[in-house]
Chains A and B, each alone.
Chain A
Amino acid sequence: MNDNELSTIVRESVAEIHASTPVDRIISRGRAVRARRLIPGVAGALAMAAATALAVTTVLAPAHPGPMASGHSRSLPTSHPGSHPASARLAAWTVAKQANGDIDITINQLKDPAGLQATLRADGLPATVSFSGILLSPSCQGYLANTSTLNAVFQGHGTYIAIDPSALPSGTGVAISDEPGAGLPTLSGNIPTLGRTPAVHPSVPPLSMAIDGPLAVGLVYTSQQCTG
């Protein structure tokens, strides 16, 4: 069997699979995605405007709470958990709490997981965050949710995560980690790169992926040690 014959066999093996979702439904869903994006876009523009003002006044006053938080900025250090310092420079991550209660997270660099974790907790979200290739800390117990629950809590793409806290099952919080071995070549430099860190944890088998993604999210049982 040569390569051409083998290729044909592989192609034919899935040739009877057909997409069945009507395009109208796809477009309708796409409109919802687009509408959802507009809200953080507006918030981002406001935050950038606020950052410009803060850059001028930061010597005189501490950062004010606002709709967005950013972490590990080089122009302004992260202040106490719950405050939302803004920065005109690229932040390692940003957190934006929407009017509907959703929490949008964009992770640009795998830096300052403790700051991100503190910010999420300050926004009322039980959370544990790790950027060390360790999916769950020893103090956390994973909650095995079904797909529909996970999809209700999490929406996301690439390095963007939208979390709906109201969809969390009772007694659960969220866990966010880099995805060991995921191959999204988003970042480079001296910091850990998204998806490049090894999975090393003595008690939890490393999670690999059936499909790629730079980040892993899931649900955990809330506890003081795990989710604050």
Chain B
Amino acid sequence: MGVGTQQLDFAEFYRSAADECLRAVVVSIGDQDTARELVDEAFARAWASWRTVSRHPAPKAWVVRTALNASISRWRRRRREVPVADPARVADPPALSATPVGPVDPQIMAALMRLPARQRQVVALRLILDLDTARTADVLGIAPGTVMAHLGRAMAALRHDLQPELQQENRP
């Protein structure tokens, strides 16, 4: 495959996958600005390794995984600034952007951000990228049963969080 063909191939992949990948990363980390930076960088790396990535069974998952791994250059400053009484309870505090969340429903995003990070990642991969359980498990490096357990807990928590709000909205 020539470079020109590769470029067209990659451009088509980017056009078809960028929105979904960005949404998945937003769901995973909350902050849209950071998510955009991470996804852009992940796609750049995908292009740099396009011969490999293009043959990946789930290139979108590769991009999202790469974006999530790109945290290597970032301190989790928020966690260092505030002493934590019970780290387990706030291991994954809301990462909502200080900037306006734009087109995202703030209540739903807040509910998502209350989930532990791993549950958010499972939600992102299963619901946004529409990966199956096995592929999600492969991407996250966890057992399929663990994926199902995380998804089940996430759905239960979201239902618990959102049900009253949705009922409120639907009330005449």
A31–B15 Cα distance when bound, in Å, is 18
Q: What 1/0 mask marks residues of chain A from 187 to 228 whose CB sits below 8 Å from any chain B CB?
A: 000000000000100001111111111111111000000000
**Contact pattern, B 31-65, Cβ under 8 Å of A = 1, otherwise 0:** 11010111111011111111000000000000000
Q: Is A59 part of the binding interface, using a Cβ–Cβ cutoff of 8 Å?
A: no
Contact, CB under 8 Å: B162 / A206 = no
Identify the closest chain B residue to A150 (Cβ). Answer: B73
In the bound assembly, the distance between CA atoms of A14 and B76 in angstroms comes to: 24
Q: Mark B120-138, 1 if CB is under 8 A from A, else 0.
A: 0101000110000000000
B140 touches A207 (CB 8 A): no
Q: Which residue of B lies closest to A153 (CB)?
A: B73
Interface size on B, residues (CB 8 A): 77
Contact partner, B117, options A34, A37, A205, A209, Cβ 8 Å: A209
CB distance from B74 to the nearest CB of A (A): 6
Q: Are A14 and B18 interface neighbours, CB within 8 A?
A: no
Using known A-B contacts A145-B75, A208-B76, A209-B76, determine if residue A184 contacts B118 with beta carbons closer than 8 Å.
no
State the majority secondary structure of interface residues on B: helix
Contact of B70 with A156 in the complex, beta carbons under 8 Å:
yes
Asked if residues B141 and A185 are in contact (CB atoms below 8 Å), the reply is yes
Interface digits, A1-45 against B, CB 8 Å rule (1 contact, 0 not)?
Answer: 101001101110111111111010111011111100100000000
B118: contacting residue among A147, A161, A183, A199, CB under 8 A? A183
Contact B73 A154 (CB under 8 A): yes
User: When A183-B142, A185-B141 are in contact, do A10 and B71 touch as well, CB less than 8 Å?
Assistant: no
- Which residues on A sit within 8 Å (CB–CB) of B18? 19, 21
Q: Does B114 contact A (CB under 8 A)?
A: no
Give, as a whole number of angstroms, the nearest-CB distance from B152 to chain A: 9
What is the CB-to-nearest-CB distance from B153 to chain A, in angstroms, rounded to a whole number?
A: 13
In the complex, what residue of chain A is closest to B32 when comparing beta carbons? Answer: A17
Q: Is the CB of B141 within 8 A of A157?
A: no
Bound together, the chains give a CA A71 to CA B140 distance in angstroms of 28
In B109-167, the 8 Å CB interface with A consists of 109, 112, 117-118, 121, 123, 127-128, 140-142, 155, 158-159, 162-163, 166
* Residues on the A chain within 8 Å of B47, using CB: 26-27, 29-31, 33-34
B contacts, CB < 8 Å to A = 7, 10-11, 14-15, 18-19, 21-23, 25-32, 34, 36-41, 43-50, 66-77, 79-84, 87, 91-92, 95, 102-105, 108-109, 112, 117-118, 121, 123, 127-128, 140-142, 155, 158-159, 162-163, 166
Binding site for B on A (CB under 8 A): 1, 3, 6-7, 9-11, 13-21, 23, 25-27, 29-34, 37, 142, 144-145, 147, 150-151, 153-158, 161, 179, 181, 183-185, 199, 204-219
Q: List 22 A-B contacts (CB under 8 A).
A: A1-B162, A9-B166, A10-B108, A13-B105, A14-B104, A18-B22, A25-B40, A26-B14, A29-B40, A30-B50, A142-B75, A145-B75, A147-B74, A155-B73, A181-B91, A204-B80, A205-B80, A207-B76, A208-B91, A210-B29, A211-B38, A211-B68
Q: Can you add 15 more A-B contacts, CB < 8 Å, to A30-B46, A150-B74? A: A6-B155, A7-B127, A17-B23, A31-B48, A183-B142, A205-B82, A206-B91, A207-B75, A207-B76, A208-B79, A209-B76, A210-B28, A211-B74, A216-B71, A216-B72
